[in-house]
C-alpha cells in the first residue's frame, strides 16, 4: 500500500500534464454522472428539498412497495416489456437483413445511393419525426388517403391505443434501418474473400454463401449489438413516446420511463419516481449482465 502510494506520487509528478488533462473529464463524470447516482439515495428516503439529500429521513423500501402495489405497476411494466420485446423482434433484425441484402447489390453507384438515402432519416430530430407522423398518420393524412384508395375505413393511428406499438416500431424502422446496418456492413466487408471463393468452388449458391459464410462472419458483431440492445431493453425511447403520447393512449404507450417523467418532473413526486427509475435501471443492468454472461458461456464474443 505504502509503496503504491509512493509510486503514485512519482507518477502524478512525472505525468502531471496528463493528469491535468484528465481533470475536467473526471470532474464531469463525478459531478454529472456519479452525482445523480449519489442522489439515488432519495429513492429510500422521503426527500424534502429544504433538508437536502442527507437531511431527509430514511423510509426504506416504502416507495418501492407503493409502486409495486399501485394500479399503474402492472400496466407500465407490461407496456415496457412488450414495447421492448417488439423492438427486439421487429426492429433489431432489420439492420442485419438490410445489410445482408444491400451487400448483394453489385452496382457500386446504386449501392452508394441506397446507403446515402437510408442513413438520412437518422439525422432528423425526434420532434420533426413525430411531427411528421402526426401529419402523415392523421385522419386526412397521406396514409389514410392511400387506405381510402383501396376503399377501406380511415384509422386514427395516433389516437388509438391499439395502434401505438405498431406506429412506434414502424417509425423506428423507417428512421434507423440504414443507420443500424452500418456496423454489419463494416463487418461484412472485413470477411476474408477467399472464404467466398472456396464456397463457390464447392458449388454453394448465393443463398448458401450468405447463410454459411456471411452470417457466421458477422455473428460476433451481431452478438455485441444484441448485448448492447438488451442493455437498453428497459429504456426504450421514452423521449419519442413523450412526444407521441396523450392521455388517450396511456393504456398502451405509458412505459416506466415516461411514468417517471410524469410523476417526477411534472408532479414533483421526487422520491417515488426516483424509486421507479431505480427499479428500471436495476432491471436493465441485470439484463445486460445476464446477456453478457450468456454470450460468454456460449463461447460467443462478449462485451467484457
Partner 1 sequence: MLMKRSLGEQTFDIGNSILMILISLMTLYPLLYVLFSSLSDPQYVVQNRGLLLYPQGLNFDAYRMVFRNPNILTGFGNTLFYVTVGTGINILLTALGAYALSRKNVMLTNPVMFLIVFTMFFEGGLIPLYLLMRNLDLLDTRLAVILPSAVSAFNLIIMRTAFQSVPESLEESARIDGAGDWTILFRIVLPLSMPVVAVMILFYGVSHWNSWFFATIFLQTRDYFPLQVILREILISNDTNAMSVGVGTSDQMAIGETIKYATIIIATVPILFLYPFLQKYFVKGVMIGAIKE
Query: Distance (Å, rounded) from C-alpha 60 to C-alpha 38?
Result: 16
Q: Which of residues 185-224 bind partner 1 (CB under 8 A)?
A: 185-187, 200, 205-207, 221, 224
The grid coordinates listed for 189 are: 466487408
Query: Does residue 112 sit in helix, strand or coil?
Result: helix
Q: Are 218 and 96 in contact (CB under 8 A)?
A: yes
Query: Distance (Å, rounded) from C-alpha 59 to C-alpha 28?
Result: 31
Q: Is 142 in the site for partner 1 (CB under 8 A)?
A: yes
Least separation in angstroms between CB 125 and partner 1: 4
Q: Which of residues 250-289 bind partner 1 (CB under 8 A)?
A: 257, 260-261, 264-265, 270, 273-274, 277-278, 280-281, 284-285, 288
* Cα-based distances in Å from 291 to 84, 180, 240: 15, 20, 26
CA dihedral 105, 106, 107, 108 (to 10 degrees): 100
Least separation in angstroms between CB 269 and partner 1: 9
Binding region for partner 1 (CB under 8 A) out of 42-50, 59-67, 71-79, 191-199: 42-50
Least separation in angstroms between CB 101 and partner 1: 6
Least separation in angstroms between CB 39 and partner 1: 3
CA 21 to chain centre: 31
The grid coordinates listed for 265 are: 418532473
Q: Which of residues 44-73 bind partner 1 (CB under 8 A)?
A: 47, 49, 52-53
The one among 50, 57, 109, 140 contacting partner 1 by CB under 8 A: 140
Q: Is 38 in the site for partner 1 (CB under 8 A)?
A: yes
Amino acid at each position: 500500500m505504502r509503496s503504491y502510494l509512493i509510486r503514485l506520487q512519482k507518477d502524478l509528478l512525472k505525468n502531471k500534464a496528463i493528469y491535468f488533462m484528465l481533470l475536467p473529464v473526471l470532474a464531469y463524470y463525478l459531478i454529472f454522472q456519479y452525482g445523480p447516482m449519489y442522489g439515488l439515495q432519495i429513492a429510500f428516503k422521503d426527500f424534502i428539498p429544504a433538508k437536502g439529500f442527507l437531511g431527509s429521513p430514511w423510509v426504506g423500501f416504502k416507495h418501492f412497495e407503493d409502486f409495486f402495489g399501485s394500479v399503474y405497476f402492472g400496466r407500465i411494466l407490461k407496456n415496457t416489456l412488450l414495447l421492448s420485446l417488439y423492438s427486439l423482434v421487429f426492429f433489431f433484425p432489420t439492420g442485419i437483413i438490410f445489410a445482408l441484402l444491400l451487400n448483394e447489390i453489385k452496382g457500386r453507384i446504386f449501392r452508394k445511393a441506397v446507403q446515402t438515402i437510408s442513413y438520412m432519416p437518422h439525422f432528423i430530430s425526434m420532434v420533426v419525426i413525430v411531427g411528421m407522423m402526426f401529419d402523415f398518420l392523421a385522419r386526412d393524412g397521406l396514409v389514410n388517403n392511400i387506405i381510402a384508395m383501396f376503399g377501406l375505413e380511415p384509422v386514427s393511428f395516433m389516437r388509438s391505443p391499439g395502434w401505438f406499438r405498431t406506429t412506434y416500431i414502424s417509425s423506428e424502422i423507417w428512421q434507423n434501418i440504414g443507420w443500424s446496418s452500418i456496423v454489419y456492413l463494416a463487418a461484412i466487408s472485413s470477411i476474408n474473400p477467399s472464404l467466398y471463393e472456396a464456397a463457390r468452388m464447392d458449388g454453394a449458391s448465393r443463398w448458401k454463401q450468405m447463410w454459411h459464410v456471411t452470417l457466421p462472419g458477422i455473428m460476433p458483431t451481431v452478438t455485441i449489438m444484441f448485448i448492447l440492445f438488451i442493455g437498453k431493453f428497459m429504456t426504450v425511447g421514452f423521449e419519442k413516446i413523450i412526444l407521441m403520447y396523450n392521455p388517450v393512449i396511456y393504456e398502451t404507450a405509458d412505459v416506466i420511463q415516461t411514468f417517471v417523467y410524469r410523476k417526477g418532473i411534472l408532479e414533483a413526486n421526487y422520491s417515488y419516481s426516483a424509486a421507479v427509475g431505480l427499479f428500471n435501471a436495476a432491471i436493465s443492468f441485470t439484463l445486460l449482465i445476464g446477456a453478457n454472461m450468456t454470450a460468454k458461456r456460449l463461447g460467443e464474443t462478449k462485451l467484457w
